[in-house]
Amino acid sequence: MGKFNTSLVVGLTFVATLGGLLFGWDTAVISGAVSSIDAYFIDPLGLAETARSSLSGWTISSALVGCIIGAMVAGWISTALGRKGGLIIAALLFLLGSIGSAVPELGFGPIGQMGPDALRQFIFYRILGGVGVGIASMLSPLYIAEISPSAIRGRLISFNQLAIVGGILIVYFVNWYIASGGDDAWLKATGWRWMLASEAIPATVFLALLMFVPDTPRWLVLRGRNEEALTQLKRVTNEADARSILADIERTLVVRKAKLFSFGTTVVVVGILMSVFQQFVGINAVLYYAPLMFKNMGSSTDTALLQTIVVGGANLAFTLVAIVTVDRWGRKPLLVVGALIMAVAMIALGCLFNARVVGLGALIAVVVYIAGFALSWGPVCWVLLAEMFPNSIKGKGLGLAVAAQWLANLVVSGSFKVLDGNSTLNAMFNHGFAYWIYGGMSVLAALFVIRYVPETKGRSLEAIQDLWGKAAPVGAAPAANHGT
């Protein structure tokens, strides 16, 4: 491909990555408000310990149900309303979920006085925000993939993962700043509301900026708006390349709406398993329960929180490594190397717990694991998912894969406390068993990539379609390896 308009592509990517930032923000903001939410909604009910823990867990994790729903409907939304239209819906859901969860009593009773009577509304708004996360988790990388030149596409999609990690880190500091504004009583009465409402600021910015971005050329062709697609392509590259790219898009969209398995089962199964392995390596068990993990190592609460910040810093730093390397080294090498690094780190961590040697070595193992994930399966999985599905089934295929990812997230995050809190397993392995499972899954993930995942570096999205063995329509020209 010839020269392309870097500033325009980067600008559009920045807007799309705000969806990733809100993904991270919404996921992590609840962490600073857990004790306050329990005090306001749960404790006044006077439940028995098991019932209290179950209700508290459901209240905090309910957003994950919304994430699964959002991912399941995102494919339909992206096809019917466009990639831009879907992101606008996500931004609105982020905004409504943020404000609604901050003041769930609004319209139902006096704010600050309803307590448990507002719990249903609170959970509803958390699920609503989760639907926004599910939609954005699919559409932000998809939008970036469809507007990016192939030479830098992997790098630009990786910025979405950087935005997710950045959103998590930013909201940790926002929560800390809000919590420092008063005592514990103020935090439980008012401070938690400001934490949850804080998401409304980036959500409003995201919504406003989306008004000024175009939809992607591939969706415009999908809707028969070829001249508009050509206009958008000419804004990114020269006219000759724009026309050639448009011809490739038109070739792959001779059938504009195809059945999910029109290109065989392999592409769909590989996409789903990529998503499942990204979660089964244990990343969200480590991220969600890092303070608990460090306490199991013998750290005090303050030290555990400090160690968690170290983990977050490693996540951010090695995501930058992925951004620099993904278009140079390729997708497969990063995924394989990262999986093997995670396998070694998790097996070592399990052995350290089992041997009751959980000092600096255990912290190093956790940081090495996070580094392995951040330079590989964190960003690169999203790169491949956004690239791999043929144009005519992209919405359906990507939506299914992302829904599977959120479901796997729910399984892993829900099962960790069961595994880690099992007295029989702990008597035998001293909290080490779960980490051995994640290490074994990392080995399987590496073998899966080696055997089944194609390399997509440097290929146009239309050329990637041909990797799955579906012949072009009779009379169509072969895909050129150029363009966005």
User: Above pLDDT 70, what percent of the chain?
Assistant: 87
Give the residue from 194, 215, 236 where a domain finishes: 215
Say what the pLDDT of residue 1 is.
46
Q: How far apart are CA 480 and CA 484, in angstroms?
A: 11
Shortest CA distance to 357 belongs to which of 348, 345, 368, 344? 348
Q: Specify whether 325 is located in the same domain as 418.
A: yes
Q: Specify whether 271 is located in the same domain as 202.
A: no
Averaged over 157-170, what is the pLDDT? 86
In a domain, 340, yes or no: yes
Supply the CATH number for residue 405's domain.
Answer: 1.20.1250.20
Q: How far apart are CA 190 and CA 179, in angstroms?
A: 10
Shortest CA distance to 252 belongs to which of 473, 20, 21? 473
Tokens (6 digits) for 431: 């909290």
Question: How many structural domains does the chain have?
Answer: 2
Q: Specify whether 198 is located in the same domain as 276.
A: no
In a domain, 253, yes or no: no
Percent helix, strand, coil in the chain, to 5, is 80, 0, 20
Q: Specify whether 137 is located in the same domain as 11.
A: yes
pLDDT surpassing 70 at residue 399: yes
pLDDT surpassing 70 at residue 471: no
User: Above pLDDT 90, what percent of the chain?
Assistant: 26
pLDDT band at residue 129, thresholds of 50, 70 and 90? very high
In a domain, 247, yes or no: no
Q: Specify whether 126 is located in the same domain as 15.
A: yes
| Helical ranges in 330-393 per DSSP H | 331-354, 360-374, 379-388
Q: Specify whether 300 is located in the same domain as 436.
A: yes
Q: Specify whether 391 is located in the same domain as 266.
A: yes
Q: Which residue has the tokens 């956004």?
A: 386
In a domain, 389, yes or no: yes
For 205-225, the pLDDT digits (tens) are 999 999 998 888 888 888 888
In a domain, 345, yes or no: yes
Shortest CA distance to 176 belongs to which of 370, 26, 24, 28? 28
pLDDT band at residue 477, thresholds of 50, 70 and 90? very low
Q: Specify whether 207 is located in the same domain as 276.
A: no
**CB-based contact 146:219 (threshold 8 Å):** yes
In a domain, 222, yes or no: no
Q: Specify whether 20 is located in the same domain as 114.
A: yes
Enclosing domain of residue 394? 261-453
Q: Specify whether 141 is located in the same domain as 285.
A: no
- Please, what is the average pLDDT of the chain? 82
Long-range pairs, 31-34, Cβ under 8 A, ≥24: 31/172, 31/175, 32/171, 32/172, 32/175, 32/176, 32/178, 32/179, 32/192, 32/195, 33/175, 33/192, 33/195, 33/196, 34/60
Q: Specify whether 17 is located in the same domain as 150.
A: yes
For 138-161, the pLDDT digits (tens) are 899 889 888 887 777 788 888 888
Tokens (6 digits) for 104: 């769930």
Tokens (6 digits) for 219: 């969706």
pLDDT band at residue 417, thresholds of 50, 70 and 90? low
Whole-prediction pTM: 0.76
In a domain, 21, yes or no: yes
pLDDT band at residue 126, thresholds of 50, 70 and 90? very high
**Residues facing residue 202 across a β-bridge:** none
pLDDT surpassing 50 at residue 476: no
In a domain, 470, yes or no: no
Q: Specify whether 203 is located in the same domain as 268.
A: no
